[in-house]
Amino acid sequence: MATSDMSSMVLRQFFTNEKYMRKVVPFMEPDYFEGVHQHLFKEFAKYVVKYNGTPSLDSFRISIQESDSGMSEQMFEHAMGILPELFVPD
């Protein structure tokens, strides 16, 4: 399994399985992810701290759009493109 596939699978669980997210996220580090997945994890972790829950697709899109995460335009477009599949439960 490719690293990006594994990262997508883990992020999908965070976005769609709150019980799993609450058990695992406290032990995760951004360095466990690469590229766009690392940026998405950082934004997700900030969202969870701020709102104490998992975001909806729309609220997470807004969070990323308002973020100062330093994503390049290309990475931002990639993130927006893969987000819908990260919100579909397995």
Q: What is the pLDDT of residues 12-52, one digit of tens each?
A: 999 999 999 999 999 999 999 999 999 999 999 999 999 99
pLDDT of residue 4 exceeding 80, the answer is no
DSSP 87: T
Please say whether the beta carbons of 79 and 7 come within 8 A: no
Percent of the chain having pLDDT more than 70?
97
pLDDT above 90 as % of the chain: 86
By CB atoms closer than 10 A (0-12, 13-18, 19+), residue 25 is middle
User: Residue 90: its pLDDT value, please?
Assistant: 74
